[in-house]
Amino acid sequence: MDALLQQFFNFEIMAKVLPLLLGGLKQTLIICVIVVPLGLVGGLLLALLLRAPFRAVRWGAIATIDLFRAIPPLVLLIFVYSGLPFAGLRISPLTAVSVAFFLNSSSYYAEIYRAGIDSIGRGQWDAARSTGLPMFDTLTFVILPQAIRNVLPDLISNTVEVIKLTSIASVVALPELLYSADMARSITYNTSPVVLAASIYLIMLWPIVRLVSRLERRIAS
Amino acid sequence: MDGWSRFTDTFFKPELIERYLPSIASGLVVTVEIALAVIVTGLTLGLLLAVVRTFRVSVLSFVIVIVVDAFRALPPLVLVLIVFFGLPNVGINVPSFAVLWIVLSFVLAAFAEEIFWAGILSVPKGQWEAARSTGLGFLGTLTHVILPQAIRLTVPPITNRALAITKNTALGTVIGVPEILNQASTGQSFAGNATPMMMGAIAYVLLFIPVVILGRWIETRFAWGRA
């Protein structure tokens, strides 16, 4: 039992590595600030392409969404980071993370927006258009506000997934939270730094997970 | 060398495709095995936890909610690293594929519990009362009346979640599980060429695209049944 505590909950080590981990946390937050908006915007664009008047565009959007939902994000990231240099494209870890996350999370967000837009009845389109609102204004002022409200819990819970996913940036040596923790672990020969990182993720994400559960229940009832 | 042949030379070199096909294929087998194992244990455990919550023992329910929340909030890679590096140091040796299997099973169980529980709650109370009044016991009501209806509602979200979590088998590469991504990266660094990595990516697409499309179909099929 004591060995277990020493190995996983060594507070002395945790205190020592906390500044290092907070530096990592800052990187994690920077990644989030880049990749979450990228995914939200990319997803919206893809979802709108699903409603394009040309069949080829719609099929292209579906193919893109399905392709990037089928490839595990870590595979995409390693492909972008370590595969593209062979083609003469050398990019920084942060760029690789941004590109891979953009492709991956746009596809997931797109599916959510699509469900939201589908949930708005045809009558809303017809009514808005018949008052003389053009297509684009109908979309931005009538359809999207209602659509997004309907799928808000899903949008938030996908954002939690994206934030959790930033931990794979450690694999391409981007010094974010998990990377710093793992470095501290290999220096101290102790797992407590990773447990500390886990606690930081928990403190950050638990309230959001709870919030999503409550939102879902309210919408269901 | 023109652009096209340089592209094929980097990503689709024929002799490398031939050389690395066996190792990518063996990685595919490992990925499929772990994915199936995760689905079986994860969904079973998730359903079991949801059923335990129907007994409405407040202490048990509270513990389940806390544990489920934690597994939903923690990045799977963090859990993989804690288990993989932590356990040997306290004298417990677990092979890396088992670490991946156990961690992903718990993560899937957590999400599945939440979904199954929502499904159980969505079955109207009258169904419970009607079934009980015919003389069916609590367990009989649960297994023959409530769960069949609840599980039907949960098929689309469970499919999506199972897909998302089985894709995490790629995390195994970090702890040396010889799955697709691991074989592909090893091949890439040995060959000094991105062809094995492209093969790995294609292997994932071949493996998961049918599931993505199946998920789409299930969504429309079951949405229709619900309306």
Q: pTM for the full model?
A: 0.91
Out of A67, A75, A160, name the one closest to residue B200 (CB).
A75
Question: How far does B143 lie from chain A, in Å, by closest CA?
Answer: 24
A178/B205 CB distance under 8 A: no
All residues of chain A having their beta carbon less than 8 Å from the beta carbon of residue B78 are 167, 178, 181, 194, 197-198, 201
Chain centroid to CA A169: 12
Residue with the two structure tokens 């096209």: B4
One-character DSSP codes across B79-104: HHHHHHHHHHHTT----HHHHHHHHH
- Taking only Cα atoms into account, the Rg of chain B, rounded to an integer number of angstroms, comes to 22
Domains for chain B: give ranges and CATH numbers.
14-226 (1.10.3720.10)
For chain A, positions 182-221, list CB contacts with chain B under 8 A: 182, 185, 189-191, 194-195, 197-198, 201-202, 205-206, 208-210, 213, 216, 220
CA distances from A43 to A189, A209, B28, B144 (A): 42, 21, 30, 41
Q: Across all residues in chain B, what is the average pLDDT?
A: 92
Q: Sorting pLDDT into bands at 50, 70 and 90, what band is A221?
A: low
All residues of chain A having their beta carbon less than 8 Å from the beta carbon of residue B92 are none
Euclidean distance between CA atoms A140 and A213, whole angstroms? 28
- Residue A89, chain B, CB below 8 Å: the answer is no
Q: What pLDDT is recorded for position B226? A: 44
For A36-79, what is each residue's pLDDT tens digit?
999 999 999 999 999 888 999 999 999 999 999 999 999 999 99
All residues of chain A having their beta carbon less than 8 Å from the beta carbon of residue B81 are 178, 182, 185, 194
Q: What is the mean pLDDT of residues B18-37?
A: 95
Q: Picking from A206-215, B59-68, B147-156, B216-225, which range would have the lowest pLDDT averaged per residue?
A: B216-225
- Residue A167, chain B, CB below 8 Å: the answer is yes
Is residue A83 within 8 A of residue A75, CB to CB? The reply is no
- Residue A84, chain B, CB below 8 Å: the answer is yes
Q: Which of A32, A69, A170 is the best substitution to test chain B (most B C-beta atoms within 10 A)?
A: A69
Segments making up each domain of chain A, as ranges: 2-220
Give ipTM to 2 decimals: 0.90
Indicate the CATH number for domain A2-220. Answer: 1.10.3720.10
